[in-house]
Amino acid sequence: MEAASAAQSRPRHRRNFLEERRYLAPALIAPAIIFIAALVGGPLLLAIYLSLTDATAGALGGKWVGLHNFIEAWRNPVFRKALGNTILFTVVSQMIVLVSAGLLAHALSKPFRGKWFLRFLIILPWAAPIPLGAVAWLWMYDSLFSVVNWTLVHDLLPGPGSLHLYKIVNAVTPWTIQPFDPPQWLGEPNLALGAIISVHAWRVIPFATVIFLAGLASIPSEVDDAAKVDGATGLKKFWYVTLPLQLPIATVALLFGIVFTATDMTVVYILTRGGPFNSTQMLTMWSYQTGINAGSLGEGAAISLYLLPVLIAVAVLMLRFARRTEVS
């Protein structure tokens, strides 16, 4: 067969060349590799180079300053706040995401009426563009017309609303809810942190849920049957059967969630721009303000490069899991 097709294509040299596997594969892959090398690899190296110079937006060639930018960035309290917040946002939002997505995936893996519609609603935050979704949250956390506050004040707390949910809380729990002033979600440092975490979690929950669902669906029904025969049910089955089988794919979802949250600038930029008083500053936002607004390209690049170890760790872990799933 090989010989026949080779004979047929002999008249034209170019076709002949493309018939050979060892030439065809590189010819097909090369354009993509070259493009990625030029637009990801190149700029990444350039970012590392810039971080070692005192380049500014105006002057093209910067002087070599070694690790000066990294040290200078570290000395700034705003940077340390930004670093701490990046970790805080990522860890807390991913904890919320894991629990929520676990519950949701478990519930959605069973058949029930209206599942398609509920799934559609749940996936909305991931499917819609995040710059637009974040604008909606900006409005919902508005200082004066916040619908979140209105609902809290009128339905949960004593007020002119209709639900008076506070009465249930007061009756059932030992705590008593007192009326309080509506919180300024984006104006008070601690609340602003919470607001940003809520938007990050809101965004990633749907993604983690669909990946978890895929993980659940990939468990063969024989495993279920075998577990049933062995008498494993409920929590026991979840712990010894479902969880270990789902762990690799769940880890991949988590790693993606970490990357999406830690390297995102959209949410913070739209909601607070790092304020009030840099209390919600993130590495990405601080790098933007230093590099673009203040024009210190070198220091801006150094700040964003502090994210690189996290990304490398994630990449290494992903490779690990890729190998493990391959073996099993």
According to CB under 8 A, which residues from 242 to 261 bind another protein? 248-249, 252, 259
Peptide bond into 43 cis (omega under 30): no
Candidates 107, 134, 112; CA nearest to 122 is 107
What is d(CA 125, CA 205) in angstroms, rounded to the nearest whole number?
8
Q: How far is the CB of 80 from another protein (least distance, A)?
A: 18
Which one of the spans 31-39, 76-84, 183-191, 236-244 is the region binding another protein (CB under 8 A)? Answer: 31-39
What is d(CA 85, CA 100) in angstroms, rounded to the nearest whole number?
22
**What part of residues 1-30 is at the interface with another protein (CB under 8 A)?**
1, 4-5, 8-9, 15, 18-19, 24-25, 27-29
Contact 299, 69 (CB under 8 A): yes
Residue closer to another protein (CB basis): 176 or 327: 327
Q: How far is the CB of 183 from another protein (least distance, A)?
A: 16
Q: For 176, what's the count of Cα atoms within 13 Å in the CB-facing half-sphere?
A: 1
Residue closer to another protein (CB basis): 174 or 184: 184
**What part of residues 55-114 is at the interface with another protein (CB under 8 A)?**
55, 60, 100, 103-104, 106-108, 110, 112-113
x/- mask, another protein, residues 107-126, rule CB under 8 A, reads xx-x-xx-x--xxxxxxxxx
Told to check if 132 binds another protein by CB under 8 A, we report yes
Which one of the spans 67-75, 165-173, 223-231, 264-272 is the region binding another protein (CB under 8 A)? Answer: 264-272
Residue 90, C-beta contacts closer than 8 angstroms, at least 6 positions apart: 258, 261, 262
Told to check if 321 binds another protein by CB under 8 A, we report yes
Neighbour tally for 199: CB within 10 Å: 27
Q: Tokens representing 221?
A: 């029904």
